Amino acid sequence: NAGVTQTPKFRILKIGQSMTLQCAQDMNHNYMYWYRQDPGMGLKLIYYSVGAGITDKGEVPNGYNVSRSTTEDFPLRLELAAPSQTSVYFCASTKRGGADEKLFFGSGTQLSVL
Amino acid sequence: GENVEQHPSTLSVQEGDSAVIKCTYSDSASNYFPWYKQELGKRPQLIIDIRSNVGEKKDQRIAVTLNKTAKHFSLHITETQPEDSAVYFCAASITNAGNMLTFGGGTRLMVKP
């Protein structure tokens, strides 16, 4: 198993541009998450999904959108990028989401908005 | 919603000494408390977790204690080694709530050889 795969690893955007961060998992996990990690800070939940076709907002959803058309994929869309979205983005997944199972994280996407 | 505070933000110890990182949480309904380790430039990885029906859990040099009454939990690392140097995050969540983990701000642990 590849686990959780994120692309791209690095990206520089200009203010106002848009992009999609890709996330895929091959572990048949039903719960998937997007976190952002600002320098020297903890992880903030952006969006999450409990299964295909179902998504919900986390703590910091403004400026982002997600979709979950399949169990494997959970892309994060940034519309009209702003400097405040400069961060490292982690996608994660877990099997049942029963709150007692570990999160498997992707390797992260480092995004700079200039 | 849940709020998790973590202290200290940085911790420097000599190799072989013990390290203690403390977290407090606000939601008394939280019942699952994992700890993640993040090495520089890497993804976070689970190192130990504890549920609310247990007061202490140990795995080799790592232990976690939980005080539900005071709403705080701690990570204890004994006989620290240079490879323990990393950022450690505590988190809290409520079982069956979609594993909506709320993370603390992190502690950068530096183990000096």
Query: Are the C-beta atoms of B31 and B42 separated by less than 8 Å?
Result: no
Within chain A, which residues score under 70 in pLDDT?
97-100
pLDDT given at position A97: 57
pLDDT tens figures, B12-45? 999 999 999 999 999 999 989 999 999 998 999 9
Beta-carbon contacts of B13 under 8 Å, excluding residues fewer than 6 positions away, are B19, B80, B109, B110, B111, B112
Residue of chain B with shortest Cα separation from A31: B98
Q: What is the mean pLDDT of residues B62-75?
A: 96
Query: Is the pLDDT reported for residue B98 higher than 70?
Result: no
Query: Is the pLDDT reported for residue B96 higher than 70?
Result: no
pLDDT given at position B104: 94
pLDDT given at position A25: 96
pLDDT given at position A87: 96
Closest CA of chain B from A65, distance in Å: 18
* pLDDT band, very low/low/confident/very high, at B9 (cuts 50, 70, 90): very high
> A-side interface with B, Cβ within 8 Å?
31, 40-45, 48, 50, 56, 58-59, 90, 94, 97-103, 105-108
Where are any strands of DSSP class E within chain B? 4-7, 10-14, 19-25, 32-38, 45-51, 56-59, 62-67, 72-77, 86-92, 102-103, 107-112
pLDDT given at position B28: 92
CB contact under 8 A, A43 and B6: no
pLDDT given at position B97: 62
B90 touches chain A (CB under 8 A): no
Residue of chain B with shortest Cα separation from A110: B41
Higher pLDDT residue, B52 or B58? B58
Virtual torsion, Cα B23, B29, B30, B32, nearest 10 deg: 130
Q: What is the mean pLDDT of residues B73-81?
A: 97
Chain A residues in contact with B48 by the CB 8 A cut-off are none
Nearest-CB residue to A106 (from B32, B43, B103): B43
